[in-house]
Every structure is written in structure tokens, then in C-alpha cells.
């Protein structure tokens, strides 16, 4: 008997990733409308609407400036404190939002996943793209303030290495998404993980150079401190804007390797479990 040709087949177990990628392209319109939904829905029925996108980093910056700049008197290493905290808080909230957003994929979309099939990866993709758009807008705000500052007070200049920045953003995104994907498949079964992760992420901010520069860390902890994959990303982005000294790319390598590993591992785990996770939600 001639083996018949079928368009699709359903088997137990995971879909290989090379089959998922063309499928993601077929669902690109869904990706678009999910991103649109996230963007429009989140600021409906709020009085100042999209202006929150600007207020949030500005208020955080002022708060950090008062608490860490004036009260705790953190030494920002010659960087204007306002700009220091603004860049730190925008970067951190991008990382935090991507991670937390991705990790709720199954929990928040359970009602849809139980009724309709589409490649599940669309949802975390829509979430990180949505946060990237917000981040880009906030980053433009930072650039605006940065150039304004530079115009008034002078002393700031940008080198061509600034072109590296998109790659660093991408790395930050992949790191957050990888961790988020990995957690998302477990969080739906054990809700405890949700609280543990929320808690750890909050603490993690304090061991990353968000509100203080890495140079403040005592010498004996420096090696460990630079093992934190966020440390080189934050430090390098900052130095591109303010310090201009050449940095050693080698310091970034462990972080890049860690990012690639956690991203692909998160993807594999997500892919492997996406079909069975819904049985236990």
C-alpha cells in the first residue's frame, strides 16, 4: 500500500522546534493583534493614558535620586546621578517586566489555551515585543534627557561603540525571556514558585548594578559579582554613555554564554511541556 500523504499529524510528545518556526510565521497576524491588544488595553480607562509610560521611569528616577543619591549618598563614579538612576531604572524594569510577563504565559492565558490551538510561543513573544516597544519609548525619553543635560552642562559625549547597544538590549531580552519561559511551565503546577520568583527577582535587583555602580563592590566580591550575567550588561551600557573607556569584551563572554544557554534551555523546556502543561492548570 502506498503511504498516504498527510498535511499534519498529532503525536504524543513535543513538536520539534524546526516545525514550530514556520508555524510562527503563519501566525504573524495573531502576533500583531496580541501586541496591539497589550498596548491599547493597558492604558484604556486611565486618565493620563500613555503618559504613564513617561511618568513611571521619571517618578522612579526621582525617587531613586532622593533615596540613594541624597540620603544613602551612593557614589555614582562621576556620572550625573539623575541620568545614572534613570538609565538603571529603565533597564531594570525592562528586564523585570519581560521576565515576569513571560513566566505568567500559561497561568494568564489558560482559558484561551484550553479552547484554541495556536503555537503557544506566540504569547511570550507578544509579551516581550510589547515590553520592547515600551522600553524603546522610555529609552528615547532617556536620550532626550541625556542630550538636554549634555547641552546645558556639557561634558558628555557618545562614541561610535554606542552601536553595540541594540545587541546588549537583545541579550537582556533573551536572558529575561529564557528564565521566564523556563519558569512558566512550572509555575502553572506549583503556584508557590510564583511567590519565590517574585521575591527573588526583587532581591536580585540589589545584587545587580542598578542603583549603584559595580565599582562600589569590595574587591574580594568583585569576581563573584561579575558572574551575575546582568553586571557586565549594565556596566557596559553605562560606560558607553558616560565613561568611554574601552571595556574588555572578555568580561561580557560568560554573560553571553549564560544567556544563550538559558535561552535555548528555556525554549526547549517550554516546547517540550507546552502540550502537557494544560492538563494540570
Partner 1 sequence: MRDKVIIAENISKQYQLGILNSSSLKRDLEGFWRNIFRKQSTQISNGDLDKNSIWALKDIFFSISQGDVVGFVGHNGAGKSTLLKIIARIAAPTSGVVYGRGTIASLLEIGTGFHPELTGRENIYLNGNLLGMSKNQINDRLDAIIDFSGVEKFIDTPVKRYSSGMYVRLAFSVAAHIDPNILIIDEALSVGDTAFQQKCIAKMKDVSSQKDKTILFVSHDMNSVQQLCTNAFWLENGKIKAEGKPIDIVNQYLSFAKNATLLKEFKNDTETPGNEFVKIQRVELKQINAIGEAIINVHTALQLSVEFIMALQKPESIMVELLLFTYSGSTVLDIFSPITEMGNGLYDLKFSIPANFLNDGTYFISLEFFNKKAESLFKFQNCVFFEVVDDKDTTSEWYRKCWAAVRPNFPIQITQHT
Q: Give yes or no for residue 279 binding partner 1 (CB under 8 A).
A: yes
Size of the site for partner 1 (CB under 8 A): 37
DSSP string, 196-217: HHHHHHHHHGGGTTTSS-GGGS
Q: Among residues 25, 44, 73, 250, which is the contact residue for partner 1, using CB under 8 A?
A: 44
Q: Give yes or no for residue 37 binding partner 1 (CB under 8 A).
A: yes
Which own/partner pairs from 161-167 qualify as long-range (CB within 8 Å, at least 24 positions apart)? 161/240, 162/240, 162/241, 164/236, 164/240, 165/237, 165/240
Distance in Å, CB of 139 to partner 1, minimum = 26
C-alpha cell of residue 59: 517618578
Distance in Å, CB of 193 to partner 1, minimum = 10
Q: Give yes or no for residue 12 binding partner 1 (CB under 8 A).
A: yes
CA distances from 157 to 137, 161, 162, 233, 263 (A): 21, 12, 11, 20, 34
Site for partner 1 in 45-64 (CB under 8 A): 45
Instruction: Select from 37-45, 126-134, 148-156, 235-243 the region that touches partner 1 (CB under 8 A).
Output: 37-45
Q: Give yes or no for residue 198 binding partner 1 (CB under 8 A).
A: no
Q: Give yes or no for residue 22 binding partner 1 (CB under 8 A).
A: no
Q: Give yes or no for residue 25 binding partner 1 (CB under 8 A).
A: no
C-alpha cell of residue 213: 555602580
Q: Give yes or no for residue 2 binding partner 1 (CB under 8 A).
A: no
Give the nearer residue to partner 1 in terms of CB position, either 120 or 238. 120
Distance in Å, CB of 264 to partner 1, minimum = 15
Beta strands in 47-97 (DSSP E): none
- Residue 243: which of 90, 113, 109, 80 has the closest Cα? 80
Q: Give yes or no for residue 27 binding partner 1 (CB under 8 A).
A: yes
Q: Among residues 111, 160, 166, 223, which is the contact residue for partner 1, using CB under 8 A?
A: 111
N-terminal to C-terminal alpha carbon distance within the chain:
43
Let me know: does 262 contact 178? Beta carbons within 8 Å.
Answer: yes
Give the nearer residue to partner 1 in terms of CB position, either 6 or 18. 6
DSSP string, 110-159: HHHHTT--S-TTHHHHHHHHHHHHHHHHHHHHHHHHHHHHHHHH------
Q: Give yes or no for residue 9 binding partner 1 (CB under 8 A).
A: yes
Q: Residue numbers of the site for partner 1 (CB under 8 A)?
A: 4-13, 27, 29-30, 32-34, 36-37, 40-41, 44-45, 111-118, 189-190, 275-276, 278-280
Amino acid at each position: 500500500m502506498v503511504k498516504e500523504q498527510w498535511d499534519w499529524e498529532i503525536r504524543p510528545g513535543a513538536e520539534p522546534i524546526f516545525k514550530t518556526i514556520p508555524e510562527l510565521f503563519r501566525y504573524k497576524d495573531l502576533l500583531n493583534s496580541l501586541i496591539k491588544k497589550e498596548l491599547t488595553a493597558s492604558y484604556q480607562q486611565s486618565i493620563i493614558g500613555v503618559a504613564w509610560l513617561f511618568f513611571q521611569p521619571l517618578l522612579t528616577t526621582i525617587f531613586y535620586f532622593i533615596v540613594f543619591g541624597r540620603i544613602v549618598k551612593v557614589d555614582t563614579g562621576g556620572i550625573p546621578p539623575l541620568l545614572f538612576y534613570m538609565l538603571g531604572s529603565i533597564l531594570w524594569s525592562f528586564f523585570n517586566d519581560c521576565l515576569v510577563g513571560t513566566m505568567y504565559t500559561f497561568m494568564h492565558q489558560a482559558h484561551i489555551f484550553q479552547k484554541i490551538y495556536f503555537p503557544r510561543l506566540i504569547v511570550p513573544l507578544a509579551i516581550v515585543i510589547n515590553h520592547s516597544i515600551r522600553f524603546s519609548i522610555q529609552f528615547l525619553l532617556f536620550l532626550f534627557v541625556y542630550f538636554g543635560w549634555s547641552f546645558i552642562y556639557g561634558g558628555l559625549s557618545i562614541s561610535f561603540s554606542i552601536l553595540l547597544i541594540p545587541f546588549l538590549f537583545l541579550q537582556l531580552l533573551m536572558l529575561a525571556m529564557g528564565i521566564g519561559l523556563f519558569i512558566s511551565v512550572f509555575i502553572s503546577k506549583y503556584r508557590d514558585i510564583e511567590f519565590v520568583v517574585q521575591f527573588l527577582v526583587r532581591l536580585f535587583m540589589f545584587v545587580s548594578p542598578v542603583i549603584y555602580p559595580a565599582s562600589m563592590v569590595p574587591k574580594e566580591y568583585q569576581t563573584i559579582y561579575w558572574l551575575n550575567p546582568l553586571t557586565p550588561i549594565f556596566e557596559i551600557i553605562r560606560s558607553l554613555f558616560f565613561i568611554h573607556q574601552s571595556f574588555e569584551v572578555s568580561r561580557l563572554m560568560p554573560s553571553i554564554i549564560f544567556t544563550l544557554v538559558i535561552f535555548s534551555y528555556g525554549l526547549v523546556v517550554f516546547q517540550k511541556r507546552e502540550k502537557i502543561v494544560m492538563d494540570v492548570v
